[in-house]
Amino acid sequence: MSVEPPPRPANYSYSREERYEKSVGGGTSDHEKYAAGFAAVAIASAALAVPLVVQPQSTAEFLLGAAALPTNIEQDRLLGLFAGGLLSATAAAWALKGDAERHELDLNTSENLQLGLIGFAASNLAANLAHVNDLTPNGLAAGAATAAISLAVPAARLLVSGSGRRKVGDRIKGAFDSLGRVFDLSKGGFKLTSALYALLVPATVVAGTAFTASPAASLEGTLGYVLKGADSVYLWRQIGGALLTISPAILLTLKEKADNDELGETQPRILNAGVLLAGVVQLAALGPLAADGGGGRYLPLLLANAVATTAAGLAGLTSSNTAKKLMVHARESTDLGGGAPGLLRCPTTDENGYRFVKLDNGLQVLLVHDPKTDKAAVACDVRVGSLSDPDDLPGLAHFLEHMLFYSSEKYPVEDEYRFAQFFICPLISRDGVDREAHAVDSEHGKNLNSDAWKALQLWKHTANPDHPFSRFATGNLETLLDGPARKNVEVHTRLKEFYEKHYCSQLMRAVIIGRESLDDLQALASSAFGPVPCRGLRAPSFSPEATPRAGLLMKAVPERSGHTLELQWRVEPELKHYDAAPCQYFSHLLGDEGEGSLFALLKARGWATDLCAGESGTSFSAASIFRVRIGLTDAGQEHVPELRFDFAEKMAPSSYATTLAGAMQVYGRHDLLLAIHHVPQRYDPELLDTVLSTLCPSEARVLWASSSFQVPTDCPLKEPWYGTAHSAGPLPAEWLTHWEAAWRGEGAALGDKDGHRFCGMHLPPPNPYIPSRFDLIKESSSSPAKIHATPLYTLWHRPETGFKVPKTAIYLHLRMPEAYLTPRAAVSTQLISRLLTDKLSEVAYPAELAGLHYGVRATTSGMLLSFWGHSHTLPRLVQTVLDSLLEFEVLPDRFELAKEHQAKDYANMRHEQPYQHGLYLLSVGLEARRWHVRDYEAVLPGVMGDSLRAFQTAMLGTVRIDALIAGNVPAADARALLQALEARLLAGRCSPLPASQRTEARVVALPSPMRAVHAVPGPNPANDNSAVVVAFQAGRDDVRRNALVDLVGHLGKREAFHTLRTVEQLGYITHLSAFWTLTVSNILVLIQSSAHSARYLQSRIDAFLPKLADSLRGMPAEEYAAHVEELAKAKLEKPKRLRDAVNTDWSEIDDGTLRFPRKELEAAAVRSITQEELVAFFEARESRGYLRVLSFWLLDTVVNPRTRRSYSVLVEGNVKEPAPEAAGSKASAAPPTADEVLVSDQHSFKRGQALYASFL
């Protein structure tokens, strides 16, 4: 919640002052008061309407006295039509009573009704005042009382009360905005009910205006007789007032409800009932006159209006029931390209059922019935974030997120995870404030050396200072504890106030995914989320005037080596036009990497290494940013002032639930799935012109980051939160002159000396990789089979069409012993991979646009080529990549750039997080064949372009290929591809790799006992964080051993998080899990901290392990069994995508383990491990013979100092203050223990150790 979620559509945007609904002295009592008030309005209106229908003569005498006696048929008709208006007011008031009870009086639809009721009451009072001499005292009293209460209650809500107060002009503007949308029938597809409501609105307004402005003429023209008395004028004006005010308000509300498929809700059902009754009364009054041939020339129009009113009310009531049934299968049976629209447009392969539900508390839930899922998922998006932080407590929203996850009234134990309770009754306990504030500070600490975070804060730092976007959003100890303490600010109280002020069911969108039926999921949603408090809060909205001023140039010194140039423009948010997606056109064209693209031209100049372009929301309403980011070479850094851009000429269940929940805050139901996948549905050239007009030089904001900038010469300023050295000023005039000339089409473009404007750039040609065949093969298999082997390759094949996608995955691992023989060989292989990717960028980019992907990666065994995409055109891409590899050439200019980039990659490893550096050193220390990056840096300068081609020839001299081809591909096609590759290799003088020379994947086998410790200073002196990474080695891949390791990781991860992070507050990053070093399993524990030394962190891990033993020993049997079954089910979870399934198969082939039913075998092993066996391990401390039993040997290795085998990496940051002991006293970190083996040189250490056998 440290980042504001995306805004809702324009008709749900409200001013910031409106968000607070429940004040200290008010809240629920106010809503009850208004509910009672609107109930009184409904009763009063009904008390007049019913007698007018049932006893018209008596009622006329009561209202009009002798002037109305005796009543005639004409007057009965007027009384009936007047009753119809009163019935409409009754329905509106009763619907508003329900809105008050649901705390929804602030919704636009509800406010429209309140304004309509005010207008109706005002017209009623005006008529009474105009005819005060024509009414009886009883009539005057009854009319005045009904009108007064009808006016007073909504007026008090809209204009007087603190909870509802807003500018009258804003409310009236909102009503006219609704009126302006009345003929928009495109939202969610055409709906008959929506069309009926839309047609009735102008009809009622025109009739009402005529009846009130010219009663005599309109009455004669409608009913066909001359106005006879004041009583008729009075009634006719009352009828006109209703048609002019309350009727259109009701119809506008129903129109919006119909557009959003919400006619099944309580409010629209009441309103439709009122519309139906009003229509029936009108028909009863006018039908006989029309049947007798009477009436004036306008009677058919009024009668048609009555028929349409009746039909609309009936259709609305019927449609609400139909929609509820359709929501059970709210999906479209046709593909995304066409077909009749349903409630939710889905791909043809989507077999899920969907249902939208609005709970009684206003919380909207999307239910997803996935009959094939192995896991359920729940996500809830809350419409509040860091932009709502109070000015004096930056980071409070983020801090509250931490506190919500801390505990709740129902589950008060710390870290006892129950999702919905976070929003129902969080404890926000006082004793957790200090702990979680330190956790927030630790989270901020890990970001201090991140260039992405530093750049974001620079944009915020230079933004509009009056906008909340400019504030520091994460929070730290200074903003959340120390600073408030100095100002006597009670943070605990402010947290609770923020929760009550901003957390509300109406601002939440939830998604529940499961294999249960939709009815069962709906019951679960009601049970879990129904108690979430309903406070009637409104979604916040924020001014678009947040971004830095136009024409700004910032320079900054990044953490990592290199140079980047980022240009930004403020644009209209894409989410407002998601169906047209105008920014995607420019993102596609500017981000194109193919021939004739901007990037291709920059790359040809030797100026750019990468380029990306696209729109991204700024997380506040009404504004977004279009970015163009260019990675620069050293030469490009020198030519930044010369760049001239001619934009005028360029055109898992949990993840799914989370994405959908956020999207529900923004997009309409009908297009929800299309919107989250950014599928354009219409072409709008006017929107394209609007976006294009904003991408002009004068509106640009530029961030130029370079490690070559000097402090303070180039960057004299210091950003206060991240300490980024920077400068800020206007864009140089000469830059703008060049850019604006290009914009106008004048002069040269992008360094073109001859004045040719396009300079080789052109629109992309037709894409040859777009598939046209999507048929699926008939065969399918659950695991791969070895279908062919020669001395040069082994081919595995798995036909798989169960995912119903016409796609294929291909893995080719070229095992070449020369590739990683020495550090120089490893660097050369990496350079070849980089140059190959560089060469393919223009050719393969169209393939990526068509859904095809490839990868080229140097490995410790050779080179891995991977391919994925549509089966029809994927072979074309494979052939292109293989041709480039086999016809490899070294271009001098591209080689120098690749070498420069490689050097920066090596150098930038020093800027990784300390725990990441620890994991890297762990791999170097335990993998037998693994060079250190410093070895690469030492040899890189000596690698020359003229020797690289010779190395490539030698590398490909002897090859062994392991291949897997899986998916929608028959065995014959798989064989043909490998046979063609073999023929090419053999023709190029490549020979098969002898078995004696095949590469191995071996791991150091730590002796028992051993406590190896490799301590190093942090590679980045500017990073204050320390980290410890400890691997407790278990052994070589074995089903039962793996199950034990996984079970310890599964049972220990929560205990580690609670003890090491929540209670001891050691650091934000705390982790315990199973971990693999190639084919050897370990239990991994890692901690990163900005407050403690690595040595102290290691001592806390040592102290934690016995506590874990105690926890396992005291765990109730039922709880243990539940954890075991949870882990087993997780292992048996089916992959959701073809690529996930194939990746699992490839791991078995690439590692040589070949346990294709691994998940089933390990799940069975997990279920066979009893709690007694687990506990026996911890207690078997002395019996060496007993430890030979495999199931106990592993765990005793972790706990018992006499037998355990561990390898620790300590990455020390800057000197820390003495760390507190568990008891709370101050003490220095624990000294090295006597049993430690200090590893100063990892390669020397490895040479003295035994190795596990290789599976290859």
Active site residues: 401, 436
Query: How many Cβ atoms sit within 10 Å of the Cβ of residue 1140?
Result: 12
Question: Cα 273 to chain center, whole Å?
Answer: 40
What does the alpha-carbon distance between residue 34 and residue 25 come to, in Å, rounded to a whole number?
A: 16
What does the alpha-carbon distance between residue 812 and residue 110 come to, in Å, rounded to a whole number?
A: 62
What does the alpha-carbon distance between residue 257 and residue 191 come to, in Å, rounded to a whole number?
A: 11
- String of DSSP letters for 535-598: ---------STTSPPTTEEEEE--SSSSEEEEEEEEE--GGGGTTT-HHHHHHHHHS--STTSH
| Residue type present at position 615 | E
What does the alpha-carbon distance between residue 488 and residue 434 come to, in Å, rounded to a whole number?
A: 15
What does the alpha-carbon distance between residue 122 and residue 148 come to, in Å, rounded to a whole number?
A: 8
Percent helix / strand / coil, the chain, rounded to 5: 50, 15, 35
Q: Which residue from 501, 515, 636 is spatially nearest to 564, judged by alpha carbons?
A: 636
What does the alpha-carbon distance between residue 1098 and residue 1030 come to, in Å, rounded to a whole number?
A: 8
Query: How many Cβ atoms sit within 10 Å of the Cβ of residue 325?
Result: 10
Q: Are strands 793-799 and 785-789 parallel, antiparallel or unpaired?
A: antiparallel
Which positions ≥6 away from 825 have C-beta within 8 Å?
Answer: 818, 819, 951, 955
Query: How many Cβ atoms sit within 10 Å of the Cβ of residue 689?
Result: 10
What does the alpha-carbon distance between residue 693 and residue 618 come to, in Å, rounded to a whole number?
A: 20
What does the alpha-carbon distance between residue 62 and residue 71 come to, in Å, rounded to a whole number?
A: 12
> Tokens 């864009």 — which residue?
731
Helix (H, G, I), strand (E, B) or coil at 208: helix
* Crossing angle (nearest 10°) for helices 433-447 and 396-404: 120
Which positions ≥6 away from 111 have C-beta within 8 Å?
Answer: 105, 158, 171, 174, 175
**Where does 1069-1169 have alpha helices with state H?**
1094-1114, 1117-1131, 1138-1151, 1158-1168
What does the alpha-carbon distance between residue 110 and residue 105 come to, in Å, rounded to a whole number?
A: 5
Question: Cα 617 to chain center, whole Å?
Answer: 11
Which positions ≥6 away from 710 have C-beta within 8 Å?
Answer: none
Starting at the edge strand found earlier in the chain, the sheet holding 1010-1017 runs 1069-1077, 1080-1089, 1026-1036, 1205-1212, 1010-1017, 1236-1238
* Crossing angle (nearest 10°) for helices 1117-1131 and 1039-1056: 120
Is 721:453 a contact under the CB 8 Å cutoff? no
Q: What are phi and psi of 1203, to 5 degrees?
A: -130, -15
What does the alpha-carbon distance between residue 588 and residue 577 come to, in Å, rounded to a whole number?
A: 17
| Residue type present at position 1161 | L
Which positions ≥6 away from 254 have C-beta within 8 Å?
Answer: 193, 197, 263, 268, 271, 272, 275, 312, 316
Retrieve residue 917's tokens.
């550096």
Q: What are phi and psi of 1208, to 5 degrees?
A: -110, 145
Which positions ≥6 away from 279 have C-beta within 8 Å?
Answer: 84, 306, 307, 308, 309, 310, 311, 312, 313
Helix (H, G, I), strand (E, B) or coil at 1214: coil
